[in-house]
Amino acid sequence: MLRHRRARANGNGNGNGHASKSLPRSPGARPVVLSRDELTVVLAACRRYRQSVPVYLASSQPELRLLRSAMRKLS
C-alpha cells in the first residue's frame, strides 16, 4: 500500500471526510512514505497505465476499480 503523509484538516486521518477502513496487513508489511516527486511519478504512471486497460471489457472492471482507488489515495 502506498501512502503519502500530509496534514489532515478534518482529524479523522483520511483527509476526505469519510471514516477509513482498516485493511489487514501482511506480516512484515509497512507503509511506504513517498516524497512529492515520487508521488507525482507514481500517479502519472498509474494514469498512463489506466489508458491501456480496455474499459469496455467486463473483465477489466475490477482492475479499473483498483486503479481508481489507488489514484484517489495518491491524489
pLDDT, position 66? 93
Q: Tens digits of per-residue pLDDT, 14-33?
A: 444 444 455 666 788 888 89
* Residue 21: all three cell numbers together: 477502513
Task: Report, as an integer, the average pLDDT of 32-36.
Answer: 91
b/e string for 51-72 if b means 16 or more Cβ within 10 A?
Answer: eeeeeeeeeeeeeeeebeebee
pLDDT, position 44? 95
Confidence bin at 11 (pLDDT 50/70/90)? very low
Residue the block writes with cell 476526505: 16
* Residue 58: all three cell numbers together: 467486463
pTM over 0.85: no
Q: How many domains does the chain have?
A: 1
- Is the model's pLDDT at 47 over the cut of 60? yes
Q: Which domain holds residue 21?
A: 2-74
Residue the block writes with cell 507525482: 40
More confident residue, 22 or 66: 66
